[in-house]
Structure formats: structure tokens, C-alpha cells
Amino acid sequence: MKRLTFFLFTALFAAMTAPGAFAQVKYVAVVETELDARSGATADLSAAEVALITTELRREAVKNLAQDKYSVMTSETVIAQGGAVLEECAGENCVITLGSKIGADYIVRGIISKFKMRLTLSIEMYETENGTLVASSDPVRSENAAELLEKAAVACAEMYKMFSTTRNAARKPPVTPAAPIVPVVPVTYTVTAVANPVNGGAVSRNPDQTNYAPGTSVNLIATSANGYKFIGWTGVAGSGRKNRLTLIMDGDKSVTANFYRKLELEPRPQPIAPKPDAGIAQDRAAKKRRTTLAAVGLDVIGAGFFAYGIYEDGNMKTYVDDGRYENRAEYESAKKSKTNRNIGYIVGSAFLLSGISVHIFF
């Protein structure tokens, strides 16, 4: 009897002093995955697709965290106890506040943003006691929700395994001051600047880099090619007619420098003289004859009118005797001859000039 009592006492003592005999189970809450509205991710994912990603994060937590050390809270518990907290909380430490309110020791959250036309999922795990980031996954990138969900499972499993390995290596992690949760934003942005047309000029940038940190000022200069002139910028990022443009990097930028070709610098086409042949020579000779006949005809008509004017001038003088008219009839005849003379001179001169013009210009 004494031996049995001693054996039971020894076994109980060994069980009580064994490592982890009274280890407290830690509670892990996986909150709803967030969408970074500033990056435009809300337009590419539905609420149902986001919920599937949250479910996958929770499923991987159950699979990869030791059940004797961690208890993953159900989605119903997180939503029921933390819904009011999320509605009232607007600060960066919202998830930490949520974990404290629902009694979770760790909070897991996913954040989806959009960068360079691709969806990016970042998974983070925080300790609610001091707000420390204890684990995070490599960014998961994809162009559609199905592939993003598939990659999220692998990245999430690796994060949980890394977390478990780190926690097992150190019994008690060092206590660090609470740190605010930094919002997930793209690390860098890009600038796309092209010339239109391509051979119309070029666009240089300062500083000349592939990627830029948020808030960086980038100066663009449009330089025209020979024979072109810069007419303005178009694009989401900027516009204007000055060839210098400054961009503040708060997202990916895309601008176009537009040029137009100076028409006065283009070479004028040279007329191609047709080869003369017998038919063309005959046409030219016939045209020359018609022109000559027309000019001679105008000259003859003009000379006739002019001669008529001289004739009437002679008639007018015959009616005059020492500056007086002998009778009324002579006066009327002289007056009429004077008018006819003037008409003859004017019309004759006009026809003669027309004939001379035809000779010269045709």
C-alpha cells in the first residue's frame, strides 16, 4: 500500500512539473480581410470572394497551429463579439482593440491592395497584449481572385509554421512597446511617359529611376525632334502646354507628350514634267495659232474703231469756220461727230490693248 501511494504521488508530481503541464491555451482570431480602397482593389473583388479568402486564412490556422497551444475562434464568435468594435473603431490599432475586446491573444488579418494592375494580399499576425507584429507572409500577387485564393493558402500555411517555430524556440518573447499598425500601401510607384508620335520627340525625367517612393517629385521634360513642335501633355497625371511637368508620386502615373510636324519644313513635291510627244506638240501649235488669230482679230477690230474715231474727228473739223458754226445743223453734226470720235478712240484703244495682252500672255 505504501509503495502504491508513493508511486501515485511520484507520477502526480512528475505530471505537475512537466513542461507545459499548466500551459494556457492562446486564442487566435482571424478577422475579416480588408480591401485597400485607395489602391482601387474594391473594383476587382466581390464581398463573397473576400469572404472566401478570410475563410481560407482561418482554415490554414486550424491546420497549422498546434491545437494544444492555440484555439482558433470561429467566424461567428469574431463577428458577433467584434462587429460593434469594428464599427466604432477608426484608428490604426483597430484590430488590436478588437482582439482585446473579444479576448483573443493573437489577431490575424489580410489586407488586399492593387499595384500595377495586380491584386496583392498581405497577411499579418499581431499579439494583442502589446500590439507587436509577430508574423507576416510574403506578398501574394495575382490578377484574379481564384489564383489569389490558391496562393493565399500556401503563403498562410508558411506564415503559421514560421510563427509556431519562433514561439517554440523562445518560451517568452521580449516585451516591446506597442507600435501602431502601419497601413499597407504600395512601396513604390512607376512613371510611364511616352511621345506621340514616337519619332516626334522624347521625354526625359529627373530623377531617372524605375520606381519612386511615395511623395517623390519627378520632373518631366519634353524635347521636340527636328521638324516637330511640342503642343502639350495628356494623360491622367497631368496636362498643359509647357514642356516641363512636375509629378508628385502618390500612385502610378502615365502621361503622353504630344508633338506635331511643322508643315513648312516638309519638302514640297516637285512637278514631274511630262515627256513631249508628237500629239502634245501638235496641240501646242494649234493653241498658238488660235491665240495669234484671236490677237490679230482684236487688233484689227481695235484699229477699225480707232480709224473711225479719226474719221469722225475730221468730220467735226469741217463744220467749224473760224471757231463758229455756220448754222444750227452744222452745230448738231459737229456735236455728234465729236461723240462718235470719242467712242471710236475709247473702244479702239480697248481692243488694241486686248490684242497686245493676248500676244504677251498667251
Dihedral (CA of 263, 264, 267, 269) sign: positive
- At residue 103, the pLDDT reads 81
Helix H, strand E, coil C: the string for the chain is CHHHHHHHHHHHHHHHHCCCCCCCCEEEEECCCEECHHHCHHHCCCHHHHHHHHHHHHHHHHHHCCCCCEEECCHHHHHHHHHHHHHHCCCCCHHHHHHHHHCCCEEEEEEEEEECCEEEEEEEEEECCCCEEEEECCCEEECCHHHHHHHHHHHHHHHHHHHHHHHHHCCCCCCCCCCCCCCCCCCCECEEEEEECHHHEEEEEECCCCCECCCCEEEEEEEECCCEEEEEEEECCCCECCCEEEEECCCCEEEEEEEEECHHHCCCCCCCCCCCCHHHHHHHHHHHHHHHHHHHHHHHHHHHHHHHHHHHHHHHHHCCECCECCCHHHHHHHHHHHHHHHHHHHHHHHHHHHHHHHHHHC
- At residue 24, the pLDDT reads 81
Task: Report whether 137 contacts 57 (CB < 8 A).
Answer: no
- At residue 204, the pLDDT reads 93
Query: What phi, psi does 297 have (nearest 5°)?
Result: -60, -45
- At residue 54, the pLDDT reads 87
- At residue 274, the pLDDT reads 53
Reading the chain (362 residues) residue by residue, the pLDDT tens digits are 445 444 444 544 444 444 444 458 888 888 888 887 777 777 777 888 888 888 888 888 888 888 888 898 887 777 776 555 555 554 456 767 777 777 888 888 888 887 777 888 888 888 888 878 888 888 888 888 788 888 888 888 888 888 888 877 655 555 666 677 766 656 799 999 999 999 999 999 999 998 999 999 999 999 999 989 998 888 765 566 788 888 888 889 888 999 988 775 455 555 555 555 666 777 777 888 888 888 888 888 988 888 888 888 877 777 665 455 566 677 777 778 888 888 988 988 888 888 788 778 77
Q: Count CB neighbours of 16 within 10 A.
A: 9
- At residue 214, the pLDDT reads 93
Pairing of strands 106-115, 26-30: parallel
Query: Which string of b and e fits 323-337 if b means at least 16 CB within 10 Å?
Result: eeeeeeeeeebbeeb
Distance from C-alpha of 177 to C-alpha of 100, rounded to nearest angstrom: 16
Q: What is the dihedral of CA 179, 185, 188, 192, to 10 degrees?
A: -170
Distance from C-alpha of 115 to C-alpha of 83, rounded to nearest angstrom: 29
Task: Report whether 119 contacts 141 (CB < 8 A).
Answer: yes
- At residue 273, the pLDDT reads 54
Query: Which string of b and e fits 59-84 if b means at least 16 CB within 10 Å?
Result: ebbeebbeeeebbbbebeebeebbee
Burial class of residue 263 in the structure, from the number of CB atoms within 10 Å of its CB (0-12 exposed, 13-18 middle, 19+ buried): exposed
Task: Report whether 219 contacts 245 (CB < 8 A).
Answer: yes
Q: What is the pTM of this model?
A: 0.40
- At residue 234, the pLDDT reads 85
